[in-house]
Amino acid sequence: MRSSFRQWSPVMLALVVFTGLALATPPSEPRTPPSPGLEGSELGATTWLYRDQLEPPWLDYSWGPHSLSATDPVASGTYSISVKMGPWDALYFAHPGYDVEPGDMLVLKVHGGTAGDDAPVRVRAVIGTEQPIGVLLGPTCEGGAIRAGRWTTCRVPLEQLLSGGRTRINGLWLQEGRGRALPMLFFDDIGIAHRDVPPEDVHITVSPESAVLAPGASKAFTATVTGTSDTAVEWSVEPPGTGGTITAAGVYTAPAAPGTYRVAARSHAEPRQVARAVIQVQPDTNPGSGKWVSGYYTGWNTDLYPPDKVDFSAITHLMVGRATPRPDGTLSTQFDNDQGPQIARTLSQRAHAAGRKALIMVGGSGEHDGWVGAASDANRAKFVQALLKAVDDFGYDGLDLDWEPVEPQDRPKLLALVQALRSARPGLILTFPIHWINTNFPEDADPWFAQLAQYLDQVNVMTYQMVGPWDGWLSWHTSALRGEQGLHPSSVSSSLALWVQAGIPKAKLGMGIPFYGVAWRHITGPYQPFTDWSDYVGGDNSFTYKKILEYSPWGTAQWDDAAQADYVTFPPNTPIEDGTVRWISYDGPRAIAAKGAFVKQEGYGGTIIWTVNQGCTDPATGANPLLDAVRDAFLK
């Protein structure tokens, strides 16, 4: 994992010494009157951090090329701060221990140079040796963004930078947050403004506190005023002009441009009392029929499908794996590859450039103990912060929470974790994979998962490798769409239907499509008795689609109309693998077309792919015929 500290440079070592001063009582600091135009009518005095120079006892521990005495452009006075941020570089201003009071707000002016709206600067507080994820600076600025070629005033509530009930900070970062080099930026008039406290007897709240809307969509908000008989409010939108519109009755209509906006309700009886709700406006990333295609990309087989070759025209959501939970509530973000962090950043940047979403796959098979410890009552808050930090550090839109298996005793921890994530980041995309169902045991589709589903955006059924040489079973297809019966009791359609009966809405359910096959020996096709586990040759990570195509000329391509499934059979002693392979079950373009038609006809949400890497037939060109088939079946 690439630490946000980057390296232990001499400057960073100095930090360790400096933060030790926090044990001492900081000197009293004068609170000067606010500058006109910098603070709103709700803000009072300001403690300055920088005006022409860094004000004591603040110290400059920044890394990356910068100057505290730039002469052009300047917002006021003689000098400003210039900085040319490389990946993860930051202006870092340290303090021996600043006590944050309720309502305190970081105020500053920023000049976007030639970067403008595209400058991903993140504001973070230093709390001892911790740096919570903080917030993006742009949405806090007038107009909702850092502007190119001119100065813009920004206001960041310090409470948004704190965590765990902390009230003392040891510094502030203004950090590049997407892992790329930025043009020169400028900062001026940096201070901490203190809010005038309104009378305690008047209080106002807005419901809901947050919302996620498509461009042009509408949402009704309500304001509740207590402590006065005058319950009237004045509604407004932030930023004004570009942030959408709101009626006198509180009905908000989102603008066409995606972004983060706010609606504000100001009390008529006490105008200093204002409550706000945050709105995330997000475009519809599901083209065509509106179905999703969530493709898993795994770090351990990057060589099969290089990051720069991934075809995002056939994917709405890319799930990049994997980050792994640790029992102490921390998170490994190596992504199963020596170059994993860089690969993860490359994929998120390419996804966003294509107008798609990128999610971090968390966990997976074999990580059960890590999930249980990380989601425990003792570690859950820490784990939530670690997950959100990974989302922000790598530039992702959400998380695929792959907790396998979910034991009955795990359920309260899992539900509490998902609720905490949804509360902490309402606009975060959350998806969850669940198991396929043996129709002989329909009760395995437990209604408890419908309770979990209400907090999720996608619930995807892992309908692949739905067969094994188990007692009483006949040989069967890895991902049959239909045709389940007593001795081969699995199919995509029956599994999804049972989860719908359990209470999960169809629109939230997706099916699974394998981009690999399952190979068998001793038996020559479906509907035959198994011998034992020696019948199984291999599957995931062994029989990629490229390998199946290479072997197919030695065999005969088959189609099972009842199952809507592809397979290929081989004569005895065919010189592939160890010479014993007799048939391979897989999903070819015909099976994928049938599944796409099924999803559209039945009204399900979409599909997951395990894994897009295994569908590539030529890493040099990025050819991925199965992905082409998915695009045609689901997105057209």
Q: Are 435 and 343 within one domain?
A: yes
In a domain, 560, yes or no: no
Question: Is 579 inside a domain boundary?
Answer: no
The confidence score (pLDDT) of residue 273 equals 85
Same domain, 57 and 150: yes
Residue among 288, 292, 261, 242 at smallest CA distance from 427: 261
pLDDT at position 555 = 96
In the predicted model, what is the mean pLDDT of the chain? 88
pLDDT class of 628 with cuts at 50, 70, 90: very high
CATH at residue 233:
2.60.40.1080
As a whole number of angstroms, the distance between CA 12 and CA 7 comes to 8
Q: Could you tell me if 361 and 493 lie in one domain? A: yes
Q: Which of 94-98, 142-146, 475-479 has the highest mean pLDDT?
A: 475-479
Residue 565 maps to a domain = no
Q: Are residues 471 and 511 in the same domain?
A: yes
Q: Residue 138: which CATH number?
A: 2.60.120.260
Question: Which tens digit of pLDDT belongs to each residue from 58-83?
Answer: 999 999 899 999 999 999 999 999 99
Query: Percent of the chain scored above 70 by pLDDT?
Result: 90
- Classify residue 31: in a domain, yes or no: yes
Per-residue pLDDT averaged across 352-373, rounded?
95
pLDDT for 199 equals 55
Confidence of residue 200 (pLDDT cuts 50, 70, 90): low
Bigger pLDDT: 99 or 347? 347
pLDDT (average), residues 576-597: 95
Residues 245 and 340 in one domain: no
Domain for residue 225, yes or no? Answer: yes
Distance CA 474, CA 112 (A): 66
SS (HEC) of 342-408 = HHHHHHHHHHHHCCCEEEEEEECCCCHHHHHHHCCCCCHHHHHHHHHHHHHHHCCCEEEEECCCCCH
Residues 182 and 72 in one domain: yes
| pLDDT for position 119 | 85
* Number of independent structural domains in the chain: 3
Write out the two tokens for 526.
């479906």
Q: Are residues 386 and 494 in the same domain?
A: yes
Question: 597 and 462 share a domain?
Answer: yes
Tell me which of 195, 228, 243 is where a domain ends: 195
* Cα–Cα distance for residue pair 108/49, rounded to 1 Å: 10
**CB-hemisphere CA count at 13 Å for 343?**
27
CATH, residue 463: 3.20.20.80
Nearest to 174 by CA among 234, 128, 110, 224: 110
Statement to judge: residues 225 and 129 lie in one domain: no
Closest CA to 452 of 398, 481, 411, 405: 411
106 and 30 within one domain: yes
Confidence of residue 23 (pLDDT cuts 50, 70, 90): very low
- Last residue in a domain, options 164, 195, 226: 195
Report pLDDT for 37: 35
- Judged against a pLDDT cut of 80, whether residue 456 lies above it is answered with yes
Of 172, 195, 218, the residue at which a domain comes to its end is 195
- Name the residue with higher pLDDT: 26 or 147: 147
Residue of 515 and 264 predicted with greater confidence: 515
pLDDT of residue 116: 60
Q: Which domain holds residue 17?
A: 10-195
Q: Are 417 and 410 in contact (CB under 8 A)?
A: no
Structure tokens at 465: 């490798």
For 221-291, where are the E strands, in sequence order?
A: 222-226, 233-238, 245-246, 251-253, 259-267, 274-281
Q: Does the pLDDT value for residue 577 go beyond 60?
A: yes
Q: Is residue 223 part of a domain?
A: yes
188 and 232 both lie in a single domain: no
Tokens linked to 114 = 């030639």
Identify whether 60 is part of a domain: yes
DSSP 452-474: HHTT-SEEEEE-SS---S-TTPB
383 plus 348 within the same structural domain = yes
